[in-house]
Each structure stands twice: as structure tokens, then as C-alpha cells.
Structure 1
């Protein structure tokens, strides 16, 4: 899961976002339960659907070695195909910062109209973002933020603090009447800022429920294997608890395997990100997994909408301003059995 920025976290409360994605972008998550396509290509456009000035968008992301990152790439491609006047120049993607810098520089040399960049490392790619902006190519900075606001025209990404806060609030609501309730946390990679933000949000939410205590926390690596190994350790150390929050649905696949192997059914689990496997489990309602908190990969589709609007000198539908915003933080919705049909089409493999 991508690393996010500290400055975008402004103490968002449950039910709010720094900028309402629903008001800003109709491109994000479709709310039509009848839709079955799990890419953003079938969703309404952000600016307008009428073909305008031809725009060439350069897209540079990291290597798609995680379900969420693969969904980022697929949503960007699908969204670009929606517009007959948009040409998408997409790089192969790399987790090597030097390689990604070279890929972005190639797009700059091709003189694309707008760049969409999800950097492998925001700090390391700041200079190439500045290079593009100085060359007159506006940059949409996707999720992992550059170190300087001068390196991008608009930032759009997820809400890691809100993700943790909403997970904690949901668990708190489920356990509010249980005396001396215990919860545990299966976090992501501890040296990532996003992991710290998710944990902080979770802890802050639990402060609103004095009957609940977090008794254990273990960090994994966003992989199935690490999720299974770290969850097995937690289960051995904690003979009894009431709820688990897992930061990432990919590692959650492994966590669920460990839980099944241990024969444990005595607690509820909340996942994170919104993978299709988690959505399917929530709908089936035959495991401890009862909810997942979204970190929408549709943000890349919205980034294409924003890039198109920039290239055509348009604003965003639903807003009065002539320019696109400078920053958009997406909301981390909690998906449960009660609203699963609404969000199921957005689940990613």
C-alpha cells in the first residue's frame, strides 16, 4: 500500500473528508448497486463527457506487485479509454527510484500535456516533479506526496488517518456494550508513514470507547505470507480478544488462513483497502471478517479526469471554480454486509 503524506491528515472525523470526493469527483466510487464492472471506465466523468481538445497524459506509477497497485494501473487505463480525445502514455512502472525518474524524464521529453505520477518514493522523485512543472507540464501527484508543493499542481490520494479512525469507530460501535473489551491490530510496514497514520487514527478512535483496550499490535509487510505468519503469532500470544483490525486486505488473506487454521471464531475482523476477496467474504458472512475500510484505487481514474480537465483548461463538475482544486483527500468508507452491494463493483483482485 502506498505511503501517504502527513500534511493531508487534518484530524478528520468519522463521516467527513478534507474535500468531499462525492462533491468534487463523480469519478470515484460508483454508488449504483446495479453496476457490476469493477473498473472506473463505466463511471461518470469528472469534467464532462463531451470530447474536447486532444490531451496526451503521461502516467508513471510504481511496479504493480500488490493488488492495490495493479488496480491503480487498471483504473487509469480504463478511465483514459473513456475519452476519445485522450492519449495515455503509460510507463512500465518500477519500484527503483532511479528507473522511475528516467521514465518520467522520458515522458517530459515526449512533451506530454499533463503528467500523473504515483512515485515509488515521493521525496526521491520530487526533483523530477519540479522538472516537469518548470517545463510547463502540470503534474497530478497521486497518493505518495512529493516533498515540495511546487512539484505538483494537484495532489489526490487516500486518507490513512481516516482509515484507521473509521476502523476504530466501527469496532467501537460493535463493542460499546461489552465490558473490558479487547482489540488487537495487524499493521502494515512500520517504517512507512502511512502505517503510523493508520495506527494513530485507530488509537484516537478507541479513546472514544473507554471500555475497549488495545492489547496487542504486530506489523506485517502487506503480503499474504507475512499476514499469515504475523497473525499466527498474534493468535498464539492472545488467547482471547474481541476484535482485530488488519491494515491491508492482501495480507488479510494470509491472516484469515491463520485464523482458520487455529479454529478461531470468537472475534470480529475489520480489513483495509477494499479487495474483492474481502468484499466476497463480507458478503458471504461465513468468516470473522465483517467489514473493510476503503482506500480507493479509483483515485487513479479520478487523476486521469483531473489531468484531462487541466489539459483542456476546465474545472471540475459540481464545483463553481474555473480551476481544479490543489488537493483532494478521498474518504475511507466502511463496507459491511449492509452496504456491500453498493461497493462490491469497486473491489480489486
Structure 2
């Protein structure tokens, strides 16, 4: 992992521009985000803008508002702008296949960001190590519970690789703790309001839960609101993302911990990888970015 990180750092430090790129009225890169109604993706946007500016590139960043059809339209817009490469953060890993196809037919290389594409076409996928993060979340929650208890699991948006991989890691991690039982699990679509509603419904049938794993900070914050004073005290809550709101909740004790991604770094790397793809370089199929556990002991280090 360290060797790969070193390569990534070298790429990010480079100031190479797109070879042969004619920017006369055109856009160099396109970035199709699934939604901007989430602090994590705002962080990705910021990182991409910083890296593009540093390289003197024009980038068009769009918001699909969680509509996969919009991403098809956005890819068509990118190709009409003669972009040299495109980055897609899929709304849905299956539904992203036609959107990627639009770019590929126009011979535009595509980088998949944060979530994979369930089909051919993407030159490379850059994402956090979600499976490892899910295992880390399971271990953290189990240790906070002393190895015993009943747990509720708020899953992410169905159809996304991030939700699937975090769930896989969490399930694998929980196998090491036979004294803990997952008594309820349900998607809440990575959304805070839905997280609150799902948690409230779970509590109707399982008032004796002692732990919660939410596959992102937004759902965890919603769950914490439904739990009230129990959040972080009699009910341990572990989240995933490391957004400013999530980290603030860890510092306040509402969340026990969050597995932090690095959204700005992901955005910067997406631009760097897109530049390499545009230059015709052969890229690794998968690039996994490490995650970091944020607890009350180290949360201050993550303040911005």
C-alpha cells in the first residue's frame, strides 16, 4: 500500500498538462458526481477543483441529484465539449454502464470514482478501501460493546459498490464476535433524514439495541437523532466517511467513532488519474485509498 501511495503522491505533485489539448472554448475534464447533497461529495468536488486549477485545466463538475439518467446526459454533454477524459461517481454501479458507454463510444477515457461500475469501460476505479473500512468499523463497535450486545445496521444506497463493500467488510468483521448479534438491517440510502426514520422504525421492534453501525456519517447522524440521549452512551454508534459533521459528533460523544475517508484526496487523485488516462497511459484497474479511524482521542487532528 505504501508503494502505491508513493506513486500517487508523485502523480499529484506533478504539474503536467494534457498533451496536445486545445482548450479554445472546450473543457479539459468532466466530473459527474452522484449528488452534491452530501458533505463527502462536496469534499471530492473541492479536491478536484484544487488539482485541476494547479494543472491549469478546465473542469466541468455536474450534480446528477442521485438520478442515473442524468449521468448519461452529463456524459453526453462532456463528449460534446470535447473533454480529454471523464470521471464518474456512479449513482448506481449497474446503471452507470450506459453512461460510461457514451464516453467510450466517443473514445473518451473514463475514471470511476468512489464507486465502481458493474461492467466494462472504466479505465480505472479510485475508491477508499471500503471492505477494510467495514472490518475496522465492526472491530471498533465490538470493542466498544465489550464483545456482547445487539446491533442495528443501517446500510447505504442499494446498487452502489460502496454500500456493498462496506456491508461485506462489516459482516466479515462481526464473525469474530459471536457474542454480538445483528438484529436489524435496512438501507437508508446514505441520507440523514432516512437514517433517522429507519432508526426510529428499528427501535419500535428492537428497543434493546446496544450498538449501531451506519455505512456513512449522514445516516449515523440521523440515527443518533432518533436515539436521543442514548446515542454514544447506552447505544454505541460507529459511522463511515469522516465528514466535518461526523467528526464533530465524535468529539461531542454522540458518535463513538467514524471510519474516515479522504474525499479531497480522492478528488485530487481522480483528476491526476484522468490526466494520465488522457495521455494514453495504462492504469491499474483498482486504486484503493486507505481509511483512518477517528475517535474522541484523535478527532482534533481532523479539524479543518
- The TM-score normalised by the length of structure 2 is 0.82
Cα distance change, pair 79–292 in 1 and its aligned pair in 2 (3 A): same
Cross-structure match for 2:163: 195
Out of 41, 46, 57, the residue aligned to residue 11 of structure 2 is 46
Separation of aligned partners in 2, 1:62 and 1:222:
12
- Which structure 2 residues correspond to residues 96-107 of structure 1 after superposition, within 5 A? 96-107=67-78
Out of 114, 122, 125, the residue aligned to residue 152 of structure 1 is 122
Cross-structure match for 1:6: none
Q: Does 1:275 align with 2:246?
A: no
Cross-structure match for 1:320: none
Cross-structure match for 1:294: 260
- The TM-score normalised by the length of structure 1 is 0.73
Cross-structure match for 1:3: none
Cross-structure match for 1:327: 286
Higher RCO, 1 vs 2 (CA within 8 Å, ≥6 residues apart): 1
Separation of aligned partners in 1, 2:44 and 2:175:
34
Separation of aligned partners in 2, 1:195 and 1:92:
20
5+ residue gaps, structure 2: 22-27
CA contact (8 A) 1:187 1:220 kept: yes
Cross-structure match for 2:214: 246
**Alignment coverage as a number of residue pairs:** 296
SS of match in other structure, 1:91: strand
Separation of aligned partners in 2, 1:260 and 1:146:
38
Out of 161, 179, 203, the residue aligned to residue 235 of structure 1 is 203
Q: Does 1:25 align with 2:5?
A: no
Deviation at 1:171, TM superposition (A): 1.8
Cα distance change, pair 243–324 in 1 and its aligned pair in 2 (3 A): same
Separation of aligned partners in 1, 2:100 and 2:220:
34
Q: Does 1:337 align with 2:302?
A: no
Deviation at 1:52, TM superposition (A): 4.0
SS of match in other structure, 2:58: strand
Separation of aligned partners in 2, 1:342 and 1:272:
17
Deviation at 1:276, TM superposition (A): 0.9
Residues 272-299 of structure 1 deviation map (CA, whole Å, 9 limit, x = unaligned)? 21121110121233x3x12001344232
Cα distance change, pair 25–337 in 1 and its aligned pair in 2 (3 A): farther
- Which structure 2 residues correspond to residues 1-349 of structure 1 after superposition, within 5 A? 22-26=5-9, 46-53=11-18, 56-84=28-56, 86-149=57-120, 151-176=121-146, 180-190=148-158, 194-260=162-228, 265-285=233-253, 287=254, 289-298=255-264, 299-312=266-279, 323-345=282-304
Separation of aligned partners in 2, 1:272 and 1:126:
26
CA contact (8 A) 1:62 1:94 kept: yes
Cα distance change, pair 246–132 in 1 and its aligned pair in 2 (3 A): closer
Deviation at 1:312, TM superposition (A): 4.8
5+ residue gaps, structure 1: 1-16, 27-44, 315-322
Cα distance change, pair 81–244 in 1 and its aligned pair in 2 (3 A): same
Separation of aligned partners in 2, 1:47 and 1:117:
19
Cα distance change, pair 191–101 in 1 and its aligned pair in 2 (3 A): closer
SS of match in other structure, 2:228: helix
Separation of aligned partners in 2, 1:218 and 1:51:
46
Deviation at 1:175, TM superposition (A): 3.7
SS of match in other structure, 2:49: helix
CA contact (8 A) 2:224 2:237 kept: no
Separation of aligned partners in 2, 1:102 and 1:116:
14
Separation of aligned partners in 2, 1:112 and 1:264:
47
Cα distance change, pair 343–313 in 1 and its aligned pair in 2 (3 A): farther
Cross-structure match for 1:32: none
